[in-house]
Amino acid sequence: MSRVRTIVFFVAAILSAAFGHRHPVATFLSRPVSTRIISRCKNRDPRLAYSVAGVDADVVAEVERQLGYVPPNLVAVTSRTVRRNSPVALRTYPLNGGTIRRRSRSQGKLTPFPTLYWLSDPNICRAVADLERRGNVALLEKRLRLDPAYVKLHLAAHEDYARERWESLTVDDRAMLEDALTGKGEVGGITAGMVEMIRSSGIAGRSRPFGPSIKCLHCHYAHYRSGGEDNIVGRWIDELLREEFPDLDL
């Protein structure tokens, strides 16, 4: 990231020197990424009701420092670490999300983004990835199947996730997607299948019918830390993190 910023400031300096004054493009390039994203959101696709411009500037700056960029569909920080008070998880909007590379591959402007809660703390992300490498996805699935009560909680977490995602849409955006689902309108390349994914898929984009299987520990833990205390898999991940990484700031 520091190398990219060096190049940006170098280009800004050249533009200013060439024109004998602070060129408007140079001014734009020298501004923080978070400020530029918020500025661009004012010219977003008018069909999309949500804008990251409504997020507090301090939160946007925090997320930029953590991720190296600002997700254009950032809504809020949902959980923070105990010691450093840094973001653990983010809530995102179901449209126009993901990295620039992912959005560039989309068929239209309104890229579906089913990940409602996103684990953002790099240290916690690495620890969870380590748990996955140790085979804990399979181990937790085995544990899940031991008790029907565990399975019931797991399925309920998927249902809650899908409901929260759909309800998080603005009224206008939900109506717009429902029109696409019923074939009443073409919405930025979004197909009926994509709309159904936003409305009905569970944690980590798990398709229905939901079952006692686990796709991504990061997504389950992000949900658990974002108000999904009944997410049994997320609870187990939290217990593993505290046991395996006692010095980790959770």
Question: Which range marks the domain in which residue 195 is found?
Answer: 31-244
| Domain-embedded: residue 3 | no
| Three-class DSSP category at 87 | strand
| Domain-embedded: residue 49 | yes
pLDDT at 103: 47
| Domain-embedded: residue 156 | yes
| Domain-embedded: residue 169 | yes
Helices of type H across 91-147 = 100-104, 122-133, 136-144
Element (H, E) at 13: helix 2-19
Partners of 117 in beta bridges: 91
Residues with pLDDT less than 50, the chain: 1-9, 11-12, 15, 22-47, 102-108
Partners of 95 in beta bridges: 112
DSSP states along 167-182: HHS-HHHHHHHHHHHT
pLDDT at 49: 55
Q: Specify the amino acid at residue 33.
A: V
Partners of 89 in beta bridges: 79, 119
Residues 6+ apart with CB under 8 A from 182: none
pLDDT at 109: 56
| Domain-embedded: residue 25 | no
How high does pLDDT run on average in the chain?
81
Element (H, E) at 26: helix 24-30
Backbone angles phi, psi at 203, to 5 degrees: -65, 135
pLDDT at 199: 93
Q: What is the DSSP letter of 205?
A: G
| Domain-embedded: residue 11 | no
Q: Could you read off the pLDDT of 72-116 as tens digits, one per residue?
A: 899 999 999 999 999 999 999 998 776 555 444 444 456 788 999
Neighbours of 194 (CB within 10 A): 23
How much is the pTM?
A: 0.78
How distant, in Å, are the alpha carbons of 68, 93, 153 from that of 131?
Answer: 24, 28, 22
| Three-class DSSP category at 92 | strand
pLDDT at 72: 87
Number of domains in the chain: 1
| Domain-embedded: residue 9 | no
How many residues does this entry show for the chain? 250
Q: Could you read off the pLDDT of 168-188 as tens digits, one per residue?
A: 999 988 888 888 777 665 566
| Domain-embedded: residue 22 | no
